Amino acid sequence: MPEDLEVLRKQKKMKVGQLAGKTGISAKQLVAYEKGEFIPLADRQRLARALFVDVSEINPQSTPKPKAAPKPAPKQPAREAAVPKAPAPKAAAQKQTPARSTQIDHLLGLAAALGQTRADVETAVGKPLADLTQREAKEQLGIYHRLVREQKEQRPPNTRRTRGDVPESVDTFELNYLQARQEAGDWLHIKLFDGSEKSGRLVGFSPYTLVIAGADGVETAVQKLAIAYYTVAPQEEAA
Amino acid sequence: MSLADHLRYLRAMQGGTGTDEIAQALGLETASPINLAEKKYAPVRDPELVRKLADYYGRPHEEFVWHNARPRKFLTFAAAAALESGDPITLTLRSGETLAGTVEWWDLSSIGLRAADGRLLVVQRHAVTDWPNATEWEDV
């Protein structure tokens, strides 16, 4: 039974922005899909890879949510209404709090896409980035997002590199390969970072470790971070 | 090799110093920028941080800039393009050894490279320092 995109996203505890980053689909478009806009197959395939689900599990058209009934305006005494309101505590805090490093990083990333340096951004903003508040950073991110979008739209077709349709979430090929090698009882020849070599029958593995057993049966766990590459050992070596 | 992998390598070679400790040495309030720099698939966009980290590890700034121009994403793009075209690719490892072959698959941590002698080499991505046209990609 296919599920609505929003339900699947929340099941995976992902925010719209995170999903946008993994799929290359804009956050705005994702929100539109979650509100009921039809999701083309190409985007469903990207979403399926990022969410680790089958394409058939994604409902091509999410069930539109019923619109919330407008809230009745709160009754306020006329005298009170005339008093200027203090900013909401959260908004006030955002106004004063220094921008997060992730906001600055994001801003610099967008600026780089426009060919701008940090100095260019600081000139445009009118102050050092370290002095930006969260609210100012949020405003600048909005501006830079728009500029990048406009730049993309202005490029003639076939003249830009696009984000590869290759989300960084595929982690199956090597594990499948190792599973097959272990089941076959193959010997692996492993070349380590420092140039040294090890070989043995593959007896276990995890995403971070290979466990091999030598001819004497002694098992060695090899951290994958220490490995440069490995291959099935030639028969004479295994013998 | 991406700057992220280079940073993880240098930290491991240093004995696995905690990123909190490094952040303190760099005068940063939190370790988040360093943790992010080690995890990123895109280049680190803050040149000041790149310079500080190079100074901390006592490495030339140019070395860090060189690695930063070769993020993990770009190796993904190159592997995906080689897989699609079937053209051979040459990967240079940190040891200086070069491996040539056609890409049979790639994933998060490795590239399955079919060598001319028929062997399938499972090359760990963090061991790859360079590849042809490594910096010609653009992450948009």
What ipTM was predicted for this assembly? 0.87
pLDDT grade for B4, boundaries at 50, 70 and 90: very high
Q: Per-residue pLDDT for A127 more than 90?
A: no
For residues A188 and B92, the answer to whether their CB atoms sit within 8 Å is no
A70-102, pLDDT tens digit by residue? 555 555 544 444 444 554 555 566 568 889 888
* Whole-Å CA distances, A113 to A53, A144, A152, B120: 32, 10, 10, 37
- CB of A123 within 8 A of CB of A111? no
Tokens 């709090």 — which residue?
A: A97
Report the C-alpha gap between A192 and A225 in whole angstroms.
9
Interface test with B, best of A166, A189, A196 (most B CBs within 10 A): A166
Which tokens go with A61?
A: 């058209």
Amino acid, res. A214:
G
Between chains, do B140 and A160 touch, taking CB under 8 Å as contact?
yes
Contact between residue B109 and residue B124 where contact means Cβ atoms under 8 Å apart: yes
Structure tokens at A118: 């940090």
- DSSP structure string for B76-95: HHHHHHHHHH---EEEEETT
Cα separation, A225 vs B29, in Å, equals: 29
Query: Are B123 and A228 in contact, with CB atoms under 8 Å apart?
Result: yes
| pLDDT of res. A66 | 65
Residues A21, A2: Cα–Cα separation, whole Å: 23
- pLDDT above 50: residue A187: yes
The two structure tokens encoding residue A55: 């394409």
Supply the pLDDT for residue A206. 86
β partners of residue A209:
A223
Task: List, for residues A152-165, the tens digit of each pLDDT value.
Answer: 777 655 444 444 44
CB B7, CB B38: distance < 8 Å: yes
Asked if A230 and A189 touch (Cβ cutoff 8 Å), the reply is: yes
Q: Which residue has the tokens 């295994």?
A: A238
Chain B residues closer than 8 Å to A112 by CB: 43, 45
**Is the Cβ pair B140, A195 closer than 8 Å?**
no
Q: Which of B11, B121, B122 is best to mutate for the A interface (most A CBs within 10 A)?
A: B122
pLDDT of residue A166: 47
Residue A143 · residue A107 · CB < 8 Å: no
**Could you read off the pLDDT of B15-55 as tens digits, one per residue?**
889 999 999 999 998 999 999 999 888 888 889 999 999 99
A-chain residues near B140 (CB < 8 A): 113, 152, 160-163
Q: Which amino acid is present at A26?
A: S
Identify the pLDDT of residue B139: 64
On whether the CB atoms of residues B114 and A138 are closer than 8 A, the answer is: no
Alpha helices in chain B (DSSP H): 3-13, 19-26, 32-39, 47-57, 61-68, 72-85
Distances (CA, A) of B57 to B28, B29, B52: 16, 19, 9
Q: How far apart are CA A51 and CA B103, in angstroms?
A: 25
pLDDT in tens, B51-106: 999 999 999 999 999 999 999 888 988 998 999 899 999 999 988 999 999 999 99
- Whether the pTM exceeds 0.90: the reply is no
Residues 72-131 of A with CB under 8 A from B: 101-102, 104-105, 108-109, 112-113, 118
Nearest CB neighbour to A224, from listed B12, B72, B109: B109
> What's the half-sphere exposure (Cβ side, CA atoms, 13 Å) at B19?
13
Q: What is the pLDDT of residue A56?
A: 83
Residue-wise pLDDT for A38-76, tens only, equals 888 888 888 888 888 888 888 888 887 765 555 555 555
Give pLDDT, residue A160: 46
CA distances, A39 to each of A5, A21, A111, B83 (Å): 9, 17, 30, 28
φ, ψ at B105 (rounded to 5°): -165, 165
User: Residue A204 corresponds to which tokens in the numbers above?
Assistant: 């276990």
Which chain B residue shows the shortest CA-CA distance from A226? B127
Among the partner-chain residues A152, A172, A177, the one whose CB lies closest to the CB of B122 is: A177
Q: What is the C-alpha to C-alpha distance for residues A9 and A126, in angstroms, rounded to an integer?
A: 38
Between CA B33 and CA B51 the distance in angstroms is: 13
